[in-house]
Amino acid sequence: MIKVIFVSADGSRRSVEIDEGLTAREAALFNNVPGIDGDCGGVCACATCHVHVDHAWINQVGLPEEGGMEDDLIQFAEGATETSRLACQIPMIPALDGLVLHLPKLQH
Amino acid sequence: MATVAAQETVQYKSVDSIPLGEINVANPHLFQNDTVGEYFARLRREDPVHYCAESRFGPYWSVTKFNDIMAVDTNHKVFSSEAKLGGIAVQDMHSVEGALELEMFIAMDQPKHDQQRKAVSPVVAPSNLLLLEPTIRERAGAILDSLPVGEEIDWVKLVSVELTTMTLATIFDFPWDERAKLTRWSDVTTASPETGIVESFEQRRAELIECAMYFKGLWDERINKPGGNDLISMMAQSPATRDMPFLEFLGNLLLLIVGGNDTTRNSISGGVLALNQNPGEYQKLRENPALVASMVPEIIRWQTPLTHMRRTALADAEIGGKAIKKGDKVVMWYLSGNRDESVIERADEFIIDRKNPRHHLSFGFGIHRCMGNRLAELQLRIIWEEILKRYRLVEVVGEPERLLSNLVRGITRLPVKLHAL
């Protein structure tokens, strides 16, 4: 199991666990973390699982490929920053155990 | 034209008697009489990516299954929305003589699409919607309070049109007493003469120019008045949209008017109809009003207010095993994908407490995904919350009338009777 910590906009932290090989989107959805919808089913097509990767983790997680679909979608998400990612595009690997993700203020 | 109409009329008699190659699901009559679902069911079963070699819209591919539609929608580098190639509907844009050659970002590719969309999207962003919610709720309540109980009324006219028009007037900060103009312009934008909404394309052109001139007046008032968070101020003040050519200005306005009007209007009407056709679901809702949250996306799936979006292949490609040639017209039938049993469990049933109700195609996916989806959901949520506070039953008491259109899945009249709590 890999641990992910979701920090909501009001600062409250929620630690969840998810099987290796799934994504950060599923880590949120399977544990009813509010603020992540993932309407498209996790195929990088809707940007309703937008998260801000904690600065301490952005190097391990990496940035979206420039000009790729994720990059194209994030530009339309409200409040997108340089550490914005779509949770469905973050596969949970052992190196990301303890990953900290910040939820946007509003996803709806 | 008479022969086309005759063929189209004959076609809807029996779906199984028609040779597969002759199926033309773009026939608008199939939507007006609401039989198109049988055609889509057959295509999903027998020929999910179907080629129609001859129609009044020219040859086109129909993509009818959920995952194939998703694959096309998210491949914007191969499947273009560009107006000059035909645009976003099975009926080519710019194909009608005497019509305006409108330009709008929904019918553009990158990079221009991205710039223009970014300029206007803040108006429907979550933080702005939060500010709009109390106003929409107050207006929804006022509409409902004005309705007579126990008398037959037209829900479309008195509620669906009223609420969406008021919301639109709010986001445009449009002169309140003249807001009926917005409804009219929305209807006119998607109308052809056969619908009876306009008598000719010349009339349509004249009315849309009148619309443009009206908005030009508002634009000129607001361009030098910084700070407005309405759509017109945003467009007038953003570098990406400030210097738009006239037809682009008009096109984008109409896009926002139609996008914010026709669609939600028909979901508001469609929800009432669906609950009446499924009294068990209505009962569940009355017993547990919290189900509004999952009912809203289910209504939007069920209604699928825009039946399709079209793309044009920029290169040879493959969809569901079929070879698409560069230049081919590809129609993604969202209405069909939303009934695809291989992805949506019991897809032919209206179920207000589905486990995964947001997984539907009505908003499209990818970079052209509906910009106003949260505003649509907000309006539906509010109207149902307010209905449940006031009425035990909104009873459909007559046959609904449907729009003659293969794009807007519209309900033009829905007679209902209200029952008090």
pLDDT at B287: 97
pLDDT at B7: 52
Residues in a beta bridge with B393: B419
Mean pLDDT of chain B: 92
Mean pLDDT calculated for residue range B4-31? 78
Strand B329-333: give its sheet, edge to edge: B49-52, B60-63, B329-333, B308-313, B79-80
In this prediction, residue B38 has a pLDDT band, given cuts at 50, 70 and 90, of: very high
Percent of chain A with pLDDT over 70: 98
Contact partners, residue B128, CB within 8 Å, separation at least 6? B122, B229
Percent of chain B with pLDDT over 70: 96
- Return the number of other C-beta atoms located less than 10 Å from residue B127's C-beta: 12
Mean pLDDT calculated for residue range B41-48? 97
Of residues B70, B121, B130, nearest to A43 (C-beta): B70
Nearest residue in B to A35, CA atom: B126
Answer whether A106 touches B (CB < 8 Å).
Answer: yes
Cα B12 from Cα B23, distance rounded (Å): 10
Please report residues of A whose CB lies closer than 8 A to that of B130: 106
* Structure-token pair, residue B384: 């149902």
Phi and psi at residue B392, in whole multiples of 5°? -75, -35
Residue B143 confidence (pLDDT) above 80: yes
Residue B395 confidence (pLDDT) above 60: yes
Residue B374 to residue A108, Cβ atoms within 8 A: yes
Cα B125 from Cα B416, distance rounded (Å): 34
Domain spanning A2-102, CATH architecture:
Roll (3.10)
Mean pLDDT calculated for residue range A75-100? 95
Q: Which of B397, B103, B387 is nearest to B241 (CA)?
A: B103
Residues in a beta bridge with B310: B331
Q: Tell me the shortest Cα–Cα distance from A60 to chain B, in angstroms.
A: 26
Higher pLDDT, B266 or B119: B266
Contact partners, residue B201, CB within 8 Å, separation at least 6? B96, B97, B98, B99, B192, B193
Residue B395 belongs to a domain with what CATH number? 1.10.630.10
Mutate: best of B294, B369, B381, partner A, most A CBs <10 A: B369
pLDDT at A108: 54
In this prediction, residue B99 has a pLDDT band, given cuts at 50, 70 and 90, of: low
Residue B17 confidence (pLDDT) above 90: no
Whole domain around residue B35: which residue ranges?
2-420
Higher pLDDT, B291 or B239: B291
A47-51, B97-101, B174-178: segment of lowest average pLDDT:
B97-101
* Structure-token pair, residue B240: 């990406």
Mean pLDDT calculated for residue range B125-137? 90
Residue B416 confidence (pLDDT) above 80: yes
Please report residues of B whose CB lies closer than 8 A to that of A46: 363, 365, 369
Residue B366 to residue A105, Cβ atoms within 8 A: no
Mean pLDDT calculated for residue range B363-388? 96
Mean pLDDT calculated for residue range B33-54? 97
pLDDT at B3: 46
Angle subtended at Cα A26 by Cα A21 and Cα A31, rounded to the nearest 5 degrees: 125
List pLDDT tens digits, range A6-22: 999 999 999 999 999 99
- Return the number of other C-beta atoms located less than 10 Å from residue B391's C-beta: 17
Interface A-B, measured as beta-carbon pairs within 8 A, has a size of 53
Task: State ipTM.
Answer: 0.90
B233-247, B254-268, B367-381: segment of lowest average pLDDT:
B233-247
Residue B264 confidence (pLDDT) above 60: yes
Nearest residue in B to A108, CA atom: B126
Mean pLDDT calculated for residue range B252-271? 91
Domain ranges of chain A: 2-102
List pLDDT tens digits, range B348-361: 999 999 999 999 99
Cα B259 from Cα B345, distance rounded (Å): 29
List pLDDT tens digits, range B145-194: 999 999 999 999 999 999 999 999 999 999 999 999 999 998 898 887 88
Please report residues of B whose CB lies closer than 8 A to that of A73: 366-367
Of residues A39, A46, A78, nearest to B125 (C-beta): A78
pLDDT at B97: 62
Higher pLDDT, A34 or B305: B305
Residue B80 confidence (pLDDT) above 50: yes
Its sign, for the CA torsion A20, A24, A29, A33, is: positive
pLDDT at B2: 43
Q: Which residues of B touch A (CB under 8 A)?
A: 70, 73-74, 76, 110, 114, 117-118, 121-122, 125-127, 129-130, 358-359, 363, 365-367, 369, 371, 374, 377
Residue B37 confidence (pLDDT) above 70: yes
What three-state secondary structure class fits B259? helix
